[in-house]
């Protein structure tokens, strides 16, 4: 957990509050199957991680940037050294009390074996965030494929009346794969959402999204995704909220001379969270269709459960269970393999002092893909020191 004090910066004519800091960590990892590759031998690794951030707000504008940078070295030459990066920013502008405008961008470069170790897992002292955006492409498990993705988002929400709100979003992304089995593609997604508040506890939503994927240098695998859904937002108490949506997804993929493949799938999301004074219990789930670097479109499902508990003033405990899977099918030029990943981890986090903290996380994963199954056991210990502001 990164701890760091607020810095207040005066701006004219309003006060701007700015928080900036960086967490520097050293990690030791024992891994039975590095990168979730079946035939890898157990190994140990050391890594360095940096998590800088900057957040500022002034009047009608809020801006933040953050990054998570990691370099890891395994003891065996066959596993070598690996790096990962995830960096981005967000700008929110409120021209009036009725309108919000927002823009964001993010870049990630990660080996799938590393990325899957952190699927839908929040920090020790926060509730589980809703599953949003692209889901992990589990068809790549065990291939040690590096994927690089750049994403940009634009959106605006407008309150049409005290009870009605309309939101428009546009997202563009480009994904690159480092292996011959993967192919680069771009993806554009447009969304429209209408929300109406029926009471202090209940609101209903209607959403529709349209996405178009384009695989570079070939039309094979190009496709479209249309997904209309209906949802509710229910507040049962100040500490208990439920957000749910359901609908269908229509997909179409181009197979060249073989014609087009069309599918209809169920789609939806569920986010449930119960907050207590010293902890939380949350569930987040999603089912959606999206492109894969294997070519074409696949249907992905994700479920995550998180339980957090503050054991003492300086000690936190977190238990996480996660499932990620896809539906096999010939929705592109290649048959996407059916793959499932089951994840379980427990974390003990201890704050040594105001800026220095220590985490210990044992985890277990069960992987099914390409008709085979295998296990992965990891033990990760990390020591982090924070410079700058305290969030």
DSSP string, 305-329: EEEEEEEETTEEEEEEEEEEEEE-B
Q: What is the pTM of this model?
A: 0.84
Angle at 135 between CA 104 and CA 375, to 5 degrees: 135
Instruction: Please state, as a whole number, how many other Cβ atoms lie within 10 Å of the Cβ of residue 239.
Output: 12
Positive or negative: CA dihedral 249, 250, 252, 258? positive
Flag whether 300 is in a domain.
Answer: yes
pLDDT score, position 1: 38
Q: Say how many domains are in the chain.
A: 1
pLDDT score, position 177: 80
Flag whether 155 is in a domain.
Answer: yes
Positive or negative: CA dihedral 173, 179, 181, 183? positive
Flag whether 1 is in a domain.
Answer: no
pLDDT score, position 120: 38
pLDDT score, position 43: 94
Plot region of 125 (φ>0 → left; ψ -120 to 50 → alpha; else → beta): alpha
Flag whether 2 is in a domain.
Answer: no
Distance CA 185, CA 118 (A): 24
CA distances in angstroms from 154 to 151, 271, 352, listed in the order given: 10, 24, 41
Strands 185-197 and 202-215: antiparallel
pLDDT score, position 182: 59
| Short-list 306, 327, 328, CA closest to 317 | 306
Residue span of the structural domain in which 24 resides: 7-388
Flag whether 354 is in a domain.
Answer: yes
pLDDT score, position 312: 93
Flag whether 336 is in a domain.
Answer: yes
Regions of the chain short of the pLDDT cut 70: 1-15, 112-134, 179-182, 328-337, 391
CATH of the domain at 206: 2.40.160
Widest pairwise Cα distance in the chain: 65
DSSP type of residue 32:
S
């Amino acid at each position: 957990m990164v701890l760091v004090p607020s810095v207040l910066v005066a701006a004219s004519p309003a006060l701007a509050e700015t928080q900036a800091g960086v967490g520097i960590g050293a990690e030791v990892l024992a891994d039975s199957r590095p990168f979730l590759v079946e035939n890898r031998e157990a190994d140990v690794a050391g890594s360095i991680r940096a998590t800088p951030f900057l957040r500022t707000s002034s009047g009608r504008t809020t801006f933040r940037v953050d990054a998570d940078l990691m370099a890891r070295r395994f003891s065996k030459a066959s596993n070598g050294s690996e790096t990962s990066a995830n960096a981005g920013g967000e700008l929110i502008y409120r021209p009036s009390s009725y309108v919000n405008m927002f823009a964001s961008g993010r870049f990630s470069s990660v080996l799938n074996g590393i990325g899957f170790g952190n699927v839908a897992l929040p920090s020790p002292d926060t509730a589980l965030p809703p599953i949003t955006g692209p889901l992990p492409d589990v068809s790549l498990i065990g291939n040690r494929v590096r994927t690089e993705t750049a994403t940009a988002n634009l959106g605006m929400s407008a309150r049409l009346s005290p009870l009605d709100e309309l939101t428009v979003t546009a997202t563009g992304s480009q994904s690159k794969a480092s292996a011959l089995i993967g192919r680069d593609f771009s993806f554009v997604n447009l969304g429209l959402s209408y929300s109406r508040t029926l009471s202090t506890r209940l609101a209903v939503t209607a959403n529709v999204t349209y996405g178009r994927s384009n695989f570079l240098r070939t039309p094979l695998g190009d496709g479209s995704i249309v997904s209309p859904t209906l949802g509710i937002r229910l507040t049962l108490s100040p500490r208990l909220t439920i957000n749910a949506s359901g609908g269908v997804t229509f997909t179409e993929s181009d197979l060249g001379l073989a014609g087009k493949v069309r599918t209809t799938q169920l789609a939806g999301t569920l986010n449930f969270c119960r907050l207590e004074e010293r902890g939380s219990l949350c569930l987040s789930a999603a089912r959606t269709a999206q492109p894969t670097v294997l070519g074409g479109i696949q249907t992905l499902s994700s479920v995550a459960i998180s339980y957090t508990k503050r054991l003492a003033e300086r000690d936190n405990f977190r238990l996480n269970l996660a499932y990620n899977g896809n539906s096999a099918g010939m929705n592109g030029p290649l048959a996407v393999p059916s793959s499932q990943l089951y994840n379980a981890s427990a974390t003990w986090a201890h704050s040594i002092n105001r800026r220095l903290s220590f985490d210990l996380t044992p985890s277990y994963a069960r992987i099914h893909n390409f008709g085979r199954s295998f296990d992965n056991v990891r033990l990760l210990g990390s020591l982090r020191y924070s410079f700058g502001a305290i969030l």
